[in-house]
């Protein structure tokens, strides 16, 4: 007789990291952390199968609070590092977490190119429209006119639109969440992880300490879930139109998805036909390969 | 000492005139005859126009530099003739299209070999005809049978079809026959050694060193003079299972490399100074997260954009100080193409052992030079030692501490995907578990522990890396010190000095950081007069040597005009120093060949 040992399915709690978050009480990032823990548990993933890569900033402390392999890298560079991880070992589930300054400011170049390449990553941007860790300066997503420590007379730059930027640059799964709606976040994150390409979720994650404009109340009065609007995520024109709305009504949910575009690793010739990851193949080349190379040199 | 056959061919013209093709054909002809080759291409950052001078030195014995002389100058335009005819000595040849190029003043005994190209080819429109006709003249002057050139042309052009082959062969034959009727060939015909050689550039060698060492992820942003590494990798990637990515900038390159290396793939990237500057923050991150990555900086003349197509050894301190903070790294400067090839394998074993970044300092001279190499010397099976790497589940359910404070400072390194070893690596300071001690819980005791752990990793470094030794005459009156790519040209300068009766020895430093301070101090302790030779203005290596050993040199030979040393530049400098005629202690040779 054999006894079948079944491990208990993991729950969100099993994805709690070694230390508790040092975020300010009430920070929007708590909700995204919780939603991510719930999402990976519901998808049946184990901590060792996931790599969570971040840059620098309050929200980039995320990997320390999340039980999986993690890389807490340089400011703005998480997407570049994560691309290296995913391409070298495509069997890993790679999450990228960070803030608006990290992703849309200092890391803006990588954001453009990661989207264009359609790298199979889930990018969760905790967008608080302010630089929090440096105690409250203007960010690339701060509203026009916003007063911060570095714009005491009001911001004269227009904010980036993460949703249209992501779509225009080629991201194939583009959503927006809000820390005040964990259920929707879980739906978006699960969809993003399952999506075979670059998935961006811009999350309104209010900074309760330094942003007095874009508060929970500000968003609660405006957010409108796209699910309730009959929006078709394959319609990029409609997605962009809805993403441009801001003042009265701000849409959340899945704006855009295109499953027809292959991800970068799916296009990579040396990974053709389910080849093993380059991280785990034998290093040495063969005598035959060496001889072919040397013959061409003669 | 018998010099044997030693002959330099220079091909000059404007970019776009097709200098590369005759260069390649000649190079292949020479190495197939088993002759050694050292070629230096002086060029500019321009696709059409300017002045290019490709100097190919062919030698019966090994050619350690591109030499001192031009024995045959092929002028593809008037500019080349005007610039360089005066450098030709008695017995040298100037080959040119007499239809549109006129020689000027020249030394007695120079063979002026003007070709009536239109008459020979019957085609006034084909601008490349002069190149092919010239190959015929050169083959004749070198005493080769026409069939040797014919088969080389066939090989070069066969991909373009029979018609292209036969028209090129016909033009070359016309040149060959015209030369036979009108010009005097060399008294010493081009010799033949028993075994054919192969040919590579330094960038090929760096890339092949990586492939041999098991590099499975290579990424780069194109930047002269490092781009050849990317090209080799891209061309050979599929066959060798190497993933090659061109990235949006060098910041992305270095960080992507760190990510790939973290998964367990051996990872390398190459750039030049400007790109290296962008990579520096990531180099520090590799040190902090203890991820092994090899960064190649192919130095060119700086600062800033500098002179993109010219050489310099100007990035030493940039490598020594790359990235903020105080951390362990390996810096190595290979001495030639073959050394670059084998150094990459050595460096990968070191970075895997010590879990730290390494910087390989090549330069334009090595990387873009073309050299012969005996095929049997291309050992693509170096030992591959991955150190304390955990890539597969070992049944160990933990606890696992990524930064375990071990006796040798080196912690077992599990890669993502291995059950039971989940951890976070961070660019913030962290404790043994990987938990941050940077923000909320700073901790001087743990900080000190981690700094010392990382530093301790390299304690046995000097037992694994060869110390430089004194080479050359005992009781030398002068000791030459060089680093990196000057090793070959210094050796040839020493041969010239010995021919004059000067007793000379040298040390050639390759492993820069950590520095063999004791061994170098010992090696220089008996030196009567120490001269330091480097391809920069401020004496970067001299300042480094002084900082590590307290040794101050007696004099310097420095060149910083963008062109590499020729052997006589160094020999002249040594003579001047010995004669006491160097004011200020620094001899700066003149670059006679203006390119």
**Cα separation, B95 vs B72, whole angstroms:** 7
SS3 of B221-269: the string is CCCCCCHHHHHHHHHHHHHHCCEEEECCCHHHHHHHHHHHHHCCCEEEE
Q: What is the pLDDT of residue B3?
A: 65
Is B422–A61 a contact, with Cβ atoms under 8 angstroms apart? no
> Percent of chain B having pLDDT more than 70?
99
Q: Which residue in B219, B260, B266 is closest to A85 by CB distance?
A: B260
For chain A, which domains are there? 12-296 (3.40.50.970)
pLDDT, chain A, mean? 96
**Chain A with chain B: Cβ pairs closer than 8 A:** 212
Q: What is the pLDDT of residue A6?
A: 56
Q: Which residue in B241, B245, B436 is closest to A64 by CB distance?
A: B436
Q: What is the pLDDT of residue A4?
A: 55
Tell me the average pLDDT across A3-24. Answer: 87
Is A269–B238 a contact, with Cβ atoms under 8 angstroms apart? yes
Bridge partner list, B74: B11, B95
Question: What is the greatest pairwise CA distance in chain B?
Answer: 88
Q: Which residue in B212, B281, B391 is closest to A285 by CB distance?
A: B212
Taking only the tens place, the pLDDT of each residue in B128-165 is 899 999 999 999 999 999 999 999 999 999 999 999 99
Taking only the tens place, the pLDDT of each residue in B531-584 is 999 999 999 999 999 999 999 999 999 999 999 999 999 999 999 999 999 999
Residue (of B334, B358, B343) closest to B269 by Cα position: B358
Is B390 near chain A, with CB under 8 Å?
Answer: no
Q: What is the pLDDT of residue B439?
A: 77
pLDDT band at B1, cuts 50/70/90? very low
Q: Which chain B positions have a beta carbon within 8 Å of A298's beta carbon?
A: 31-32, 196-199, 375
Chain B residue with Cα closest to A91: B417
Is B238–A298 a contact, with Cβ atoms under 8 angstroms apart? no
Pair of tokens at residue B282:
């990531």
Is B255–A84 a contact, with Cβ atoms under 8 angstroms apart? yes
Chain A residue with Cα closest to B214: A283
Best mutation target, B29, B243, B431, to test chain A (most A CBs within 10 A): B243
Contact B224, B43 (CB under 8 A): no
Residue B86 has pLDDT above 50, yes or no: yes
Is B373–A297 a contact, with Cβ atoms under 8 angstroms apart? yes
Chain A residue with Cα closest to B199: A297
Is B281 near chain A, with CB under 8 Å?
Answer: yes
Is A80–B247 a contact, with Cβ atoms under 8 angstroms apart? yes
Report the gap between the CA of A59 and the closest CA in chain B (Å).
Answer: 13
Q: What is the pLDDT of residue A247?
A: 87
Report the gap between the CA of A152 and the closest CA in chain B (Å).
Answer: 28
For chain B, which domains are there? 6-182 (3.40.920.10), 199-377 (3.40.50.970), 471-587 (3.40.50.920)
Taking only the tens place, the pLDDT of each residue in B387-438 is 999 999 888 777 899 999 999 999 999 999 999 999 999 999 999 999 999 8
Chain B residue with Cα closest to A72: B426
Q: Give me the residue label for tokens 């962008």.
A: B278
pTM above 0.95, yes or no: yes
Residues 406-425 of B with CB under 8 A from A: 415-425
Please give the C-alpha separations between residue B486 and each of A93, B365, B432, B536, in angstroms, as whole numbers. 48, 9, 43, 12
Residue B46 has pLDDT above 90, yes or no: no
Q: Which residue in B211, B260, B418 is closest to A48 by CB distance?
A: B418
Q: What is the pLDDT of residue A151?
A: 97
β-bridge pairing B93-97 and B72-75:
parallel
Residue A278 has pLDDT above 70, yes or no: yes
Tell me the average pLDDT across A195-221. Answer: 97
Q: What is the pLDDT of residue A3?
A: 54
Residues 32-61 of B with CB under 8 A from A: 32
Residue (of B23, B195, B240, B365) closest to A298 by Cα position: B195
Q: What is the pLDDT of residue B48?
A: 87
> Percent of chain B having pLDDT more than 90?
95
Tell me the average pLDDT across B236-254. Answer: 98
Tell me the average pLDDT across A132-149. Answer: 96
Q: Which residue in B199, B237, B428 is closest to A297 by CB distance?
A: B199
Tell me the average pLDDT across A183-208. Answer: 98
Taking only the tens place, the pLDDT of each residue in B505-529 is 999 999 999 999 999 999 999 999 9
Classify burial at B411, counting beta carbons within 10 Å of its beta carbon; exposed 0-12, middle 13-18, buried 19 or more.
buried
Chain A residue with Cα closest to B433: A18
pLDDT, chain B, mean? 96
Question: What is the greatest pairwise CA distance in chain A?
Answer: 77
Q: What is the pLDDT of residue B394?
A: 82
Chain B residue with Cα closest to A113: B248
Report the gap between the CA of B126 and the closest CA in chain A (Å).
Answer: 30
Is A17–B263 a contact, with Cβ atoms under 8 angstroms apart? no
Is B196 near chain A, with CB under 8 Å?
Answer: yes
Contact A155, A145 (CB under 8 A): yes
Q: Which chain A positions have a beta carbon within 8 Å of B237's beta carbon?
A: 269-270
Taking only the tens place, the pLDDT of each residue in B48-80 is 889 999 999 999 999 999 999 999 999 999 999
Taking only the tens place, the pLDDT of each residue in B169-188 is 999 999 999 999 999 999 99
Chain A residue with Cα closest to B264: A279
ipTM, interface predicted TM-score of the complex: 0.97
Q: Which chain B positions have a beta carbon within 8 Å of A45's beta carbon?
A: none
Q: What is the pLDDT of residue A1?
A: 45
Tell me the average pLDDT across A281-286. Answer: 98
Contacts with A201 (C-beta within 8 Å, 6 or more apart), sequence order: A122, A123, A124, A125, A174, A175, A176, A177, A185, A188, A189, A192
Positive or negative, the Cα torsion across A162, A168, A174, A176? positive
Residue A245 has pLDDT above 80, yes or no: yes
Contact A57, A29 (CB under 8 A): no
Report the gap between the CA of B435 and the closest CA in chain A (Å).
Answer: 7
Residue B111 has pLDDT above 70, yes or no: yes
Q: What is the pLDDT of residue B123?
A: 77
Q: What is the pLDDT of residue A105?
A: 97
Tell me the average pLDDT across B338-364. Answer: 98
Classify burial at B313, counting beta carbons within 10 Å of its beta carbon; exposed 0-12, middle 13-18, buried 19 or more.
buried
Taking only the tens place, the pLDDT of each residue in A37-95 is 999 999 999 999 999 999 999 999 999 999 999 999 999 999 999 999 999 999 999 99
Report the gap between the CA of A158 and the closest CA in chain B (Å).
Answer: 25
pLDDT band at B379, cuts 50/70/90? very high
Report the gap between the CA of B33 and the closest CA in chain A (Å).
Answer: 11
pLDDT band at B127, cuts 50/70/90? confident
């Amino acid at each position: 007789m054999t006894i079948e040992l079944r491990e208990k399915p993991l729950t969100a709690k099993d994805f709690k990291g070694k230390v508790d978050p040092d975020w300010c009480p009430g920070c929007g990032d708590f909700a995204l952390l919780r939603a991510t823990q719930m999402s990976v548990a519901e998808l049946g993933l184990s901590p060792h199968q996931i790599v969570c890569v971040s840059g620098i900033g309050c929200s980039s402390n995320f990997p320390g609070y999340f039980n999986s392999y993690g890389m807490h890298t340089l400011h703005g560079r998480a997407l570049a590092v994560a691309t290296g991880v995913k391409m070298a070992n495509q069997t890993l589930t790679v999450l990228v977490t960070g803030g608006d300054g990290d992703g849309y400011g200092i890391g803006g170049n990588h954001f453009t190119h990661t989207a264009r390449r359609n790298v199979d990553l889930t990018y969760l941007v905790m967008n608080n429209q302010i630089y929090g860790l440096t105690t409250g300066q203007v960010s690339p997503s701060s509203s026009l006119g916003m007063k911060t420590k570095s714009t005491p007379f009001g911001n004269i730059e227009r904010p980036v639109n993460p949703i249209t930027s992501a779509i225009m640059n080629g991201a194939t799964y583009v959503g927006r969440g809000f820390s005040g709606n964990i259920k929707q976040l879980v739906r978006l994150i699960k969809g993003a992880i399952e999506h075979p390409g670059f998935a961006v979720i811009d999350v309104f994650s209010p900074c309760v300490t330094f942003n007095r404009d874009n508060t929970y109340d500000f968003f609660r009065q405006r957010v409108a879930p796209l699910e309730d609007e009959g929006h078709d995520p394959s319609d990029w024109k409609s997605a962009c139109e809805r993403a441009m709305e801001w003042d009265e009504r701000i849409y959340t949910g899945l704006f855009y998805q295109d499953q027809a575009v292959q991800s970068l690793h799916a296009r990579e010739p040396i990974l053709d036909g389910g080849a093993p990851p380059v991280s785990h193949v034998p290093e040495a080349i063969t005598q035959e390969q060496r001889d072919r190379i040397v013959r061409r040199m003669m | 000492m018998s010099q044997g056959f030693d002959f330099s061919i220079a091909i000059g013209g404007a970019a776009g005139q097709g200098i590369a093709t005759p260069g390649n054909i000649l190079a292949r002809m020479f190495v197939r005859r088993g002759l050694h080759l050292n070629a230096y291409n002086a060029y500019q950052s321009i696709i059409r126009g300017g002045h290019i001078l490709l100097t190919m030195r062919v030698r019966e014995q090994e050619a350690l530099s591109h030499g001192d002389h031009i024995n045959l100058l092929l002028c593809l335009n008037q500019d080349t003739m005007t610039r360089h005819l005066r450098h030709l000595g008695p017995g040298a040849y100037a080959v040119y299209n007499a239809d549109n190029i006129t020689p000027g003043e020249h030394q007695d005994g120079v063979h002026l070999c003007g070709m009536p190209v239109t008459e020979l080819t019957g085609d006034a429109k084909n601008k490349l005809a002069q190149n092919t006709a010239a190959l015929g003249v050169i083959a004749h002057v070198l005493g080769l049978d026409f069939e040797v050139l014919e088969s080389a042309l066939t090989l070069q052009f066969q991909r373009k079809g029979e018609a292209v082959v036969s028209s090129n062969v016909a033009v070359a034959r016309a040149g060959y026959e015209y030369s036979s009727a009108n010009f005097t060939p060399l008294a010493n015909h081009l010799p033949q050694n028993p075994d054919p050689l192969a040919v590579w550039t330094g960038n090929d060698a760096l890339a092949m060193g990586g492939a041999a060492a098991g590099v499975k992820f290579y990424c780069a942003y194109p930047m002269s003079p490092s781009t050849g590494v990317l090209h080799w990798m891209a061309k050979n990637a599929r066959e060798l299972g190497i993933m090659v990515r061109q990235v949006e900038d060098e910041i992305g390159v270095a960080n992507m490399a760190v990510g790939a290396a973290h998964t367990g793939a051996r990872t390398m990237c190459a750039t030049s100074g400007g790109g290296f500057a962008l990579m520096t923050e990531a180099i520090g991150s590799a040190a902090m997260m203890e991820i092994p990555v090899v960064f190649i900086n192919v130095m060119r003349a700086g600062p800033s954009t500098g002179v993109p197509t010219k050489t310099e050894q100007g990035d030493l301190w940039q490598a020594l100080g790359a990235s903020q903070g105080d951390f362990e790294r390996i810096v190595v400067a290979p001495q030639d193409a073959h050394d670059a090839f084998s150094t990459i394998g050595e460096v990968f074993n070191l970075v895997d052992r010590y879990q730290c970044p390494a910087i390989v300092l090549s330069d334009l001279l090595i990387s873009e030079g073309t050299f012969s190499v005996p095929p049997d010397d291309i050992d693509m099976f170096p030992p591959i030692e991955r150190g304390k790497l955990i890539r597969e589940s070992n049944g160990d359910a933990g606890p696992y501490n990524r930064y375990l404070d071990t006796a040798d400072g080196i912690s077992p390194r599990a890669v993502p995907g291995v059950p039971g070893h989940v951890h976070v690596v961070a660019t913030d300071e962290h404790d043994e578990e990987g938990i941050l001690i940077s923000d909320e819980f700073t901790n001087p005791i743990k900080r000190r522990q981690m700094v010392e752990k990382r530093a301790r990793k390299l304690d046995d470094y000097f037992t694994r890396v060869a110390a430089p030794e004194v080479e050359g005459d005992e009781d030398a009156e002068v000791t030459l010190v060089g680093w990196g790519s000057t090793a070959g040209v210094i050796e040839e300068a020493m041969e010239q000095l010995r021919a004059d009766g000067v007793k000379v020895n040298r040390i050639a430093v390759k492993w820069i950081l950590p520095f063999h301070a004791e061994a170098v101090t010992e090696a220089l302790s008996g030196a009567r007069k120490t001269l330091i030779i480097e391809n920069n203005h401020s004496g970067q290596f001299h300042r480094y040597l002084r900082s590590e050993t307290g040794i101050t040199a007696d004099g310097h030979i420095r060149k910083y005009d963008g062109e590499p040393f020729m052997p006589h530049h160094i020999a002249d400098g040594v003579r001047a120093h010995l004669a006491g005629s160097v004011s200020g202690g620094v001899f700066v040779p003149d670059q006679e060949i203006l390119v």
